[in-house]
Amino acid sequence: MANFGQSDILYVFAVLALTPLLVATLKSLTHVPCPHELLIFAGDKPYLSLWQDILSQQRAKCFPAAHASSGFGLYGLAFVPALQHKRWRYVILVSAIGWTMGLYKMMVGDHFFSHTLVSMALAWFVASGLSAVFFAKKHGIDF
């Protein structure tokens, strides 16, 4: 069994909290409609580029994918030093969880592939960035 320290647990909870928080914040700023809301899929909104969506200020909150970000938020486990020997197992497992959640939302018309892909990338950046902050001194790295 892995020997989790207090900083390890705090780090995992920070990643689990900040990943969905970042995605929720971006959803409120991007104004991207869901696929089922677009005219080309029998919705009532025109397809616009991301930059046009941001400027349009329409009431839409579909980008990036929130459900998938909750699964991808578990990427923090892959960066915990106590779990280093099983890192790739966690990456594969978390990717499967996040993509399962994302694929379901794609199938019901709530997201495009890119929405889930961006959520995955954001979760990875949050997990890796916070690991540098939490574990730098443990590994002799100064900022």
pLDDT on residue 1: 54
Indicate the pLDDT class of residue 139, thresholds 50, 70 and 90.
low
3-state secondary structure of 28: helix
Give pTM, 2 decimals.
0.91
Question: Which has more confidence, 2 or 127?
Answer: 127
How confident is the model over 66-88, as pLDDT tens digits?
Answer: 999 999 999 999 999 889 899 99
Q: Residue 143 pLDDT > 70, yes or no?
A: no
CA–CA separation, 72 and 93 (whole Å): 10
Per residue in 54-68, pLDDT tens? 888 888 999 999 999
Phi (first) and psi of residue 45, to 5 degrees: -115, 145
